[in-house]
Amino acid sequence: MAEIPVRAKLAQEPMGLMGIVRTARRNLLEIIPDLATRQPMVSGRMIRRWHMVMDPAALQRVLLERPSRYPKAEAVKNVLGACRIWPWICSDFLSFSTRYGSIGQ
């Protein structure tokens, strides 16, 4: 039987592209940097520069208040768009959608 709650060994140091691919095939959650549990924002560079926003106030600003100032990668737009089609993917989709309108644009 699976252990509850589910746990993942988060990345302790930067991984190269092949390390990310290997790790993601095993468990996608393990590519999340452990640093993201302690900092409001983590940035890095792989093929392109990326940012992981963890702070609730910053997430609201990026996704809802000023989305045009924070362009999103196609992959992120696809995930957010999928929330409109399959809302059970995103736990708070319906409340966000009702309060703030579309967040995937």
Q: What is the pLDDT of residue 86?
A: 60
Q: What is the pLDDT of residue 49?
A: 82
47, 69 contact by CB (below 8 A): no
Task: State pTM to two decimals.
Answer: 0.57
**pLDDT tens per residue across span 87-99:** 555 655 445 444 5
**pLDDT tens per residue across span 14-66:** 888 899 889 989 888 898 899 988 999 888 887 778 888 888 888 888 777 88
